[in-house]
Chain A
């Protein structure tokens, strides 16, 4: 295959993969915000924490799959603990309170990560079967990117099924649109919230382990990817998963091809895109008027 085409394809896949990662993180943020009205600025920190936990599991056992299984769960546990013991208490002070609290928790996580694992970049090796390239229909694809895309789509498919085909899913959807009513129906809303929160953080955790082999594990992960994810949520519109999906993919491709063709100005492209969208629709591409 033509090396140039190969490169374009590789870049495109990388972009899509990064976009899917962003979406996994952003969707958690979106759902948490959409349902609970909670602004969780520590979300990216849990994403990072999971990457570190994943690194540790691989360091101890050499097994990537085990890391993929355990690390997100560990991170989700911490996230749920934060929700249960801290976040709930500051609801009364509105979004300001939630923001301050989650920024504080994010700082603590960062400090913890630095003191346990140091500030150097750590390498999380991807499993052998996923490294390398595969040839389909005459084109070369890096396997790991395909894996990320596949994994993300799988999780999304499972989530959609759960949401729309199970009783629990129905409850969650109802709670998103009217928590008070669902509560009045006798359903344990705090428990539902905790569950959704946990799943949101878990998804970010999966993203953390998945992207770790590519981005490496370092303390700046939260800031770097987290800011991108937030911009995705803001641009796509709060509470709109479809908006987040579209914007995630656009961002992923922009950042990937942007780095290729405009290297210096790639981040500018992203923020320019965001600025244009927000100037026309201040609530985001598909955002609802009142959050």
Chain B
């Protein structure tokens, strides 16, 4: 896609996004917002998984931290502005990532994956048990959702205003998505790929692998925090099952695999597909787990590159030369 085409696509998308509340009404608007939140969450995981080769099975940690931090801040600090609350959520997620960095950059592969599963599970248990702070199983609910104050312009109420909140959330999610996209186009984004391909060689070339991983890790966590924070605000409820459960860690992995692990937008597509399937499955059958299970098995056995990966393969078959096989962004 050329730069002009890309800009055009962005403008069209912006219009399309803006048109959703008036065109489709609150039910579908909310559905779309859920999709958007989990898309960003999945893309943030893909920064680790697909781009850097770091398999985390506990990304829910950062989602949940963002959600709980925002909810707690709003509950205990009266008069806290909306953006500040979201900022606190993001900062908390980033801080958690920073704290884990020393442990996390020392391991890779399966150890990394399992470590994250373990830590995430730990947070889940803590959230359940420390119910003085976290509300236990019930979670934190009905915390104040302040209006968005734009200095010099006025304030936009958010509570009970689905359309307003939608625009606010979409704007933040779009910003987050754009930042992540831009990141992959920077020199650091290239080092990220290098680490995935050959960490040893990257080290020998003179790059600081551990520090680079740390930067990527914190960045991905912060973006997951954005998604989590907005999720909490959206539902006006943050609970352990909804924000820190094992499914919250696995869902983005599934989304990424279905959509295409080596691409930036793959996770977005995957989220859409998976949510659609989940929605349909729960409407027409009781055996939702069966459908999900079968889906996973079929995808991994017959289309592990995901939808976009398959599409790319087909596109390459029609073209003469074969550029980079497998998981890769084009350079131009």
Direct contact of A and B (CB under 8 A): yes
Tell me whether A36 is interfacial, beta carbon within 8 Å. no
A246-271 interface code vs B (CB 8 A; 1 in, 0 out): 00000000000000000011011011
- Minimal beta-carbon separation of A263 from chain B (angstroms): 10
- Minimal beta-carbon separation of A120 from chain B (angstroms): 15
Tell me whether A170 is interfacial, beta carbon within 8 Å. no
In the complex, A231→B117 CA distance in Å? 9
A96, A233, A267: residue with the most chain B Cβ atoms closer than 10 Å:
A96
Tell me whether A31 is interfacial, beta carbon within 8 Å. no
Tell me whether A19 is interfacial, beta carbon within 8 Å. no
User: Which residues does chain A contribute within 8 Å of B288, judged by CB atoms?
Assistant: 111
Tell me whether A39 is interfacial, beta carbon within 8 Å. yes
Say yes or no: B107 contacts A282, CB within 8 Å. Answer: yes
Say yes or no: B121 contacts A105, CB within 8 Å. Answer: no
Say yes or no: B290 contacts A283, CB within 8 Å. Answer: no
Say yes or no: B290 contacts A100, CB within 8 Å. Answer: no
Say yes or no: A107 contacts B290, CB within 8 Å. Answer: yes
Would you call the interface of chain A mostly helix, strand, loop, or mixed?
Answer: helix
In the complex, A115→B290 CA distance in Å? 10
Tell me whether A275 is interfacial, beta carbon within 8 Å. yes
Say yes or no: A238 contacts B110, CB within 8 Å. Answer: yes
Classify chain B's interface size: 35 or more
- Minimal beta-carbon separation of A175 from chain B (angstroms): 19
Would you call the interface of chain B mostly helix, strand, loop, or mixed?
Answer: helix
**Chain B residues numbered 233-249 whose CB sits less than 8 Å from any CB in chain A:** 246
Say yes or no: A105 contacts B109, CB within 8 Å. Answer: no
Say yes or no: B122 contacts A274, CB within 8 Å. Answer: yes
A211-253 interface code vs B (CB 8 A; 1 in, 0 out): 0000000000001000100110111001000000000000000
Q: How many residues of A contact B (CB 8 A)?
A: 49
Q: Which among A57-65, A87-95, A136-144, A148-156 touches the partner chain?
A: A87-95
In the complex, A89→B299 CA distance in Å? 12
In the complex, A264→B130 CA distance in Å? 9
User: Which residues does chain B contribute within 8 Å of A114, judged by CB atoms?
Assistant: 287, 289
Tell me whether B179 is interfacial, beta carbon within 8 Å. no
Within the complex, which residue of A93, A99, A105 is in contact with B293, where a contact is CB–CB below 8 Å?
A: A105
A37, A109, A291: residue with the most chain B Cβ atoms closer than 10 Å:
A291
Tell me whether A28 is interfacial, beta carbon within 8 Å. no
Say yes or no: B119 contacts A275, CB within 8 Å. Answer: yes
Using known A-B contacts A100-B296, A104-B293, A107-B293, determine if residue A271 contacts B301 with beta carbons closer than 8 Å: no
Within the complex, which residue of B55, B107, B125, B300 is in contact with A104, where a contact is CB–CB below 8 Å?
A: B300
Say yes or no: B113 contacts A97, CB within 8 Å. Answer: no
**Chain B residues numbered 114-147 whose CB sits less than 8 Å from any CB in chain A:** 114-115, 117-119, 121-122, 125-126, 128-130
* Interfacial residues, chain B to chain A (CB-CB below 8 A): 49, 55, 57, 103, 106-107, 109-111, 113-115, 117-119, 121-122, 125-126, 128-130, 246, 250, 253-254, 257, 261, 286-290, 292-297, 299-301, 304
Give 6 A-B pairs besides A89-B301, A93-B300, A96-B55 with Cβ atoms closer than 8 angstroms.
A101-B301, A104-B293, A108-B297, A234-B114, A270-B125, A271-B121
- Interface pairs A-B: 5 shortest CB-CB: A107-B293, A104-B296, A111-B290, A108-B293, A271-B122
* Interfacial residues, chain A to chain B (CB-CB below 8 A): 33, 37, 39, 86, 89-90, 93, 95-97, 99-101, 103-112, 114-115, 223, 227, 230-231, 233-235, 238, 264-265, 267-268, 270-272, 274-275, 278-279, 282-284, 287, 291
